[in-house]
Amino acid sequence: MGTYLILIIPILLLSMFVQWRFRNKFSKYAEMQLNSGFSGKEVAEKMLQDNGIYNVKVMSMEGQLTDHYNPTELTVNLSTDVYYGRSVAAAAVAAHECGHAVQHAKSYSWLQLRSSMVPVVSISSNLLQWVLLIGVMLIIFNGPPIVLAIGVAGLALITIFSFITLPVEFDASKRALLWLKNNHSIMYTQEENVQAKDALWWAAMTYVVAALGALANLLYYASMLFGSRRD
């Protein structure tokens, strides 16, 4: 338990800070209206058109920070605040999600790899908690380590998935920011571009912290598994 706390507490504290900073930044930039007056929906539609993408629909969905691109249904799904919002934050998020659509259209390798892993990772995530619990209980009572080994393999898969997500997210933001910078009809000023970059930077940091958390979890259970094998 001591090893686990040493691994996880710093990451939990870092995660709390990053989440607080991320939400603080988005709240701030959500109040800064674009000089151009474009809504998130209009930003998304224009970015898709500028990249020659006409088969992707821009949709509104309930919730906060629920924005995502669905490569199966070919939809850019924007939360209500982003879809109707006319702020720097709304434009940044809309462009970022369209960055994923551009990745898909251009067969970006990291996105393809991540998408191929989604079904397996989804199944693993749903079962993993119980597999690890049973595996740890067996280890405590000197049972076979095979169940824990399966759990560690599942954690390894999720950790790999988390790290593969990083280049996908950073690249989508890079595409979004470059497009916004080159489209003065949407963002008139350098200040707006800087604010959009800042907002997407902190959004990306949430994925970095998540990947580090997954790695810490993997190391903890792996050390438990290999420790039991030495015993």
Q: Which residues are catalytic?
A: 97
Would the pTM of this model clear 0.85, i.e. be above it? yes
Model confidence pLDDT, tens digit, residues 144-179: 899 999 999 999 999 999 999 999 999 999 999 999
Instruction: Report, as an integer, the average pLDDT of 190-203.
Output: 95
User: Whole-number mean pLDDT of the chain?
Assistant: 92
Model confidence pLDDT, tens digit, residues 130-151: 999 999 999 888 888 999 999 9
Instruction: Report, as an integer, the average pLDDT of 13-34.
Output: 93
What does the domain layout of the chain look like in residue ranges? 2-230
Dihedral sign of CA atoms 34, 29, 197, 52 in order? negative
Paired with 59 in beta bridges are 77
Region at 107 (left for phi over 0; alpha for psi -120 to 50; beta for the rest)? left
Chain length of the chain: 231
